[in-house]
């Protein structure tokens, strides 16, 4: 599925659209600044797939600091059968630069 820009994500959030939102950064990064996504660090993602089972066929947006870890997370989830995974392009850094 096509990745998502910060503008598209902001619009989805403002419209209260139904999607699953995952932050794959580390807890210390999440504490410093977060977008309100559920924190599941990349290294723990596969062990926590049960938490995402209800989102297997729904839109699932993943993000990290710059978009690299979340791109890896997107690939991992797609390999496990998740069909509508989108990576936040530019991650938190892009969000801060454009939205905040």
Residues belonging to the active site? 64
User: Contact at 8 Å (CB) between 53 and 20?
Assistant: no
Angle (nearest 5°) at CA 19 between 17 and 23: 125
Q: Tell whether the torsion through CA atoms of 18, 90, 41 and 46 is positive or negative.
A: positive
The encoded tokens of residue 97 equal: 């630069």
- The number of beta carbons lying within 10 Å of the beta carbon of residue 85 is 24
């Amino acid at each position: 599925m096509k990745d998502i820009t910060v503008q598209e994500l902001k619009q989805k959030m403002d419209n209260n659209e139904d999607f699953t939102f995952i932050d794959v950064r580390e807890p210390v990064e999440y504490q410093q600044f977060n977008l309100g996504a559920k924190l599941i660090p990349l290294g723990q993602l596969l062990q926590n797939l049960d938490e995402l089972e209800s989102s297997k066929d729904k839109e699932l947006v993943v993000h990290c600091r710059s978009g690299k870890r979340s791109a890896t997370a997107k690939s991992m989830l797609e390999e496990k059968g998740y069909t509508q995974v989108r990576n936040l392009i530019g991650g938190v850094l892009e969000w801060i630069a454009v939205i905040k």
